[in-house]
Structure 1
Amino acid sequence: MHSDPGKSVVAVPPLARNGDLTLNRAANAALIRHLERGGVSTLMYGGNANFYHLAPSDYAEVLDMLLELASPATWVIPSAGPDFGKLKDQAKVLRTKPFPTAMVLPASGMATDQGTADGIGRFADSFGRPVIIYLKSETYLSVSSVTRLIDRGIVSAIKYAVVRDDPRQDAYLSELVRHVDKARIISGIGERPAIAHWRHFGLRAFTSGSVSIAPRLSTALLDALKSGAFDEAESLREAFLPFENARDEINPTRVLHDGVSFAGIADMGPILPLLSNLSDGEGLRVAPLARELHARDLARAKAAA
């Protein structure tokens, strides 16, 4: 397992289940192989895998499956939380597994800045390893709280996912990069803001859900950024926008989950409640977008062969 978040695109894939909501090992294996063949060596299982609604009693089984299915060279990052009760129990499971880190899912409501920092600290102490914090709102954790957690040595990285109308204009991220080593911060909202975060804030890694459909295109985008080929990066980014627009307008997790199935990569099956699969009408919109994105990815693979 490697520990460089910029070594590959950080994939945030969905999790496949059978009709009875048990884990579909074959489909999850197919998606992981698809990502690995496309150049992805970091898999982060969080919101798109619906870890928010994962039963604590199922946690160990999911972790063991991911460890078994991923290749030895792939870095698997599970999530925990978002509430403190889950964090407390999941830390006990995680510390028996060989994961170098885990991401703390962000809570919404019934939380304060000080209480969140305290809870993350207690989770990391119990886990016994540094963790990744997931910033989706600037009210979730203040920059001073983030820096204190880093100074304590319990934060390995930050997934930054605060959505802005213009990602180049972000006072919170500007403050964050002034106080935190940029190498610790991962652009966490897919391909859409990745170039702006790279060029304007110096971030050198990004997460993606749509990489599950088009790993070669997403990997090529990262490679273009690394080489300073920003025009090429912009062109590659454009390929993702129709599907990403549908994700933003309907629901990012639901569209990605069913999009992987529509593209023919793996049958992801039902999404774990309290979420639900796309309606027929939503599916009619999403299916051609997923297939087109996948077709572009296959065309790139063919051209490179």
Structure 2
Amino acid sequence: MKTTAVTLSDITRSVLAVPPLARHDDLSLDRESNLRLMRHLESGGVRTLLYGGNANLYNMDTAEYGSFLDMIEELAGADTWVIPSVGPDYGKLMAEARILKSRKFPTVMVLPLKFPSTGKGTADGIRRFTDETGLRVIAYVKDTHTLQPDDIAALVQEGRITAVKYAVVLQKPEQDDFLTHLLQRVDKQMVISGIGERPAIVHLRQFGLPGFTSGSVCVAPRGSTALLKALHEGRYEEAEKLRAAYIPLEDCRDEMGPIPVLHEAVTASGIADMGPMLPMMSRLEESYRAKVKVAARELLKHDETL
């Protein structure tokens, strides 16, 4: 696992995969399936794994957190940057801070807490976490009501933020006043497009963001890696063609829920069995699984041709 200090080049060197987390039927961590998914991603050129919402860390028992950290550190390749998440509530944030202090992770992501929270309160929580751990963190912006651009800019100036995962979903991502304001306050090289392949071209081409996160990359890492490279090199027509292969699975995620669909897609594609999901989440109903299976297998088949 990569343990050196985070630089801006780390953000651009790879798509930031946001994988699900495999479990056995008794809900214990499934090391073998998680390893298979990691190696699948690494074989497709992915070198950054961000464990957050898709891994259902929101619902992880703090008592299991240390074992989870040990597992992902041990399984990751030597040059793979593994980023765990913390929070979202303050109590969990600080409990996990105490566990992280004995580990070598160079950064973590703070999960967003929409309620009950305020922007200034969230910023205060991040300050207390970074004081406790000595880590700079990735801030996760999922709405326009909580953490504000001025809050983020202040945290950046204080040396507490290494990057921002920007994941505000809009029908027209090219018309984004919040992102425009954020980029007036924060270096755009620190802001990552955080909603997968669908808005990635707009975010990188129009707003100049340096990289993007993806869940569907867990099924098709080669195409997502090629998409990032094409965008960095300004080959936008090629980027549009590469992205098109991801839209059927992304449509399923939008329709049925991004977390359970990705969980099912990795299993249905045959890459690795993700098993059950932690409560308070649940796997897709059987009636939805067939559509996801078709989309996932078609995407994997396409990726194998690249």
Normalising by the smaller structure, the TM-score range is: over 0.9
Aligned partner of 2:182 in structure 1 is 176
2:46 corresponds to which of 40, 47, 50: 40
Deviations 1:213-260 (A, max 9, x none): 000000010011111100000001111001001001100000000100
Q: How far apart are the structure 2 equivalents of 1:263 and 1:115?
A: 42
User: Is 2:23 the counterpart of 1:17?
Assistant: yes
* Offset, 1:179: 1.0
SS at match of 1:245: helix
The Cα offsets for residues 150-190 of structure 1, whole Å up to 9 and x where unpaired, read as 11100110000000101100000001111100110000000
Which amino acid counterpart does residue 93 of structure 1 have in structure 2? I
Check if 1:216 corresponds to 2:222: yes
Whether 2:127 is the aligned partner of 1:113: answer: no
Alignment TM-score, normalising by the size of structure 1: 0.97
Write the distance in 2 (CA, Å) between the matches of 1:95 and 1:167: 38
* Alignment equivalent of 1:100, drawn from 87, 100, 106: 106
1:282-303 deviation line (CA, Å, top 9, x unaligned): 1011110011001111121xxx
Mapped to 1, the partners of 2:187 and 2:217 lie a distance apart of 26
1:100-249 alignment runs, 5 A limit: 100-249=106-255
1:8 pairs with 2:14: yes
CA distance in 2, matches of 1:208, 1:125: 30
Partners of 2:195 and 2:132 lie apart in 1 by 29
Partner SS, residue 12 of structure 2: coil
1:76-91 matched pairs, under 5 angstroms: 76-91=82-97
Return structure 1 stretches of 4+ with deviation > 4 angstroms.
Answer: none
1:286 to 279, 285, 292: 292
CA distance in 1, matches of 2:305, 2:68: 33
Shift of 1:104: 0.2
Rounded Cα–Cα distance in structure 2 between residues aligned with 1:109 and 1:247: 24
* Amino acid paired to 2:17: A
Q: What's the RMSD between the two structures over aligned residues?
A: 0.7
User: For residue 303 of structure 2, what is the aligned residue in structure 1?
Assistant: 297
For 1:74 and 1:217, how far apart are their aligned partners in 2?
19
Task: Give the distance between the partners of 2:228 and 2:119, measured in 1 at CA.
Answer: 33
Alignment length (residue pairs): 300
Task: Give ranges in structure 2 of 5+ residues lacking alignment.
Answer: none
CA-CA distance at 1:271 after TM superposition? 1.0
Q: Give ranges in structure 1 of 5+ residues lacking alignment.
A: 301-305
Q: SS at 1:186's partner residue?
A: strand
Distance 1:181 1:96 in 2: 31
Distance, in Å, in 2 between the alignment partners of 1:121 and 1:249 is: 36
Separation of aligned partners in 2, 1:138 and 1:126: 27
Residue 276 of structure 1 aligns to a residue whose secondary structure is coil
| 3-state SS of paired residue (2:297) | helix
Q: Once the two structures are aligned, what percentage of the paired residues are identical?
A: 52
